[in-house]
């Protein structure tokens, strides 16, 4: 493989590179999607809150019985705090998560008649919902274009030279300028799958990476 320099890359060149990255990732991960089990926007919201510092696999194991025990937002809102903590204990940070979920559920019931809102300003005004979680809800539940910036997206977008920012919101804005709007939702799903499989935080498998020819960081390691 002939390596290239990305120094001085124009916006148009970078956008073309992004399109090739997306095409390559779609080919590599054709089934990329949200891996949190849910049947409605509220369940997705609760699962996303639980997923902080926890694997999706563990969250899915917990929510399988959790959503049977608390089938509605009102059930979560009126749940006993200590009991809910024990129900979600294995996801970690269970006290804070239980408090956030109860607060979120209560606000959804009181302010939105039990229906999770779609607008980002309303979502981020709710307990436990930051911009990342709001974009997950909007994209997956409502199919509203938005870019989720989690640890995988932050790390890999920086390695690919698509942003120099560290703040997730600034990274989101940088990616919005580069990615076609039609790919905003899928970007995180593709990148998360790639981050878990190849481009890990420690010891990324650059030799096996299908994005090597598009990646400044990977080429630096092989130089």
Residues with catalytic annotation?
132, 150
120-140-178 Cα angle (round to 5): 70
Rounded CA Rg of the chain: 19
User: First-to-last CA distance in the chain?
Assistant: 12
Pairwise CA distance, residues 84 & 94, whole Å: 9
Closest by alpha carbon to 38, among 179, 136, 173, 176?
136
Pairwise CA distance, residues 118 & 127, whole Å: 15
Closest by alpha carbon to 84, among 76, 93, 74?
76
Closest by alpha carbon to 130, among 139, 120, 117, 140?
120
Phi, psi of 218, deg, nearest 5: -65, -40
Closest by alpha carbon to 205, among 156, 165, 168, 162?
156
Q: Are 107 and 79 in contact (CB under 8 A)?
A: no
């Amino acid at each position: 493989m002939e390596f290239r320099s990305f120094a001085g890359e124009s916006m148009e060149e970078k956008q073309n590179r992004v399109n090739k990255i997306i095409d390559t990732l779609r080919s590599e991960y054709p089934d990329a999607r949200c891996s949190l089990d849910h049947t409605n926007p509220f369940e997705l919201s609760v699962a996303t809150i639980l997923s902080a510092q926890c694997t999706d696999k563990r969250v899915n194991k917990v929510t399988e019985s959790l959503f049977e025990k608390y089938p509605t937002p009102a059930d979560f809102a009126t749940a006993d705090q200590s009991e809910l903590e024990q129900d979600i204990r294995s996801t970690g940070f269970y006290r804070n998560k239980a408090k956030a979920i109860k607060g979120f559920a209560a606000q959804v019931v009181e302010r939105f008649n039990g229906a999770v809102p779609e607008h980002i300003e309303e979502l981020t005004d709710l307990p436990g919902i930051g911009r990342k979680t709001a974009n997950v809800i909007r994209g997956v539940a409502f199919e509203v274009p938005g870019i989720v910036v989690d640890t995988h997206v932050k790390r890999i977008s920086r390695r690919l030279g698509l942003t120099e920012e560290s703040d997730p919101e600034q990274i989101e804005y940088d990616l919005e300028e580069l990615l076609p709007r039609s790919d905003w939702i899928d970007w995180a799903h593709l990148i998360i799958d790639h981050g878990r499989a190849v481009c890990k935080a420690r010891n990324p498998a650059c030799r096996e990476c299908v994005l090597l020819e598009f990646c400044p960081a990977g080429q630096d390691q092989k130089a």
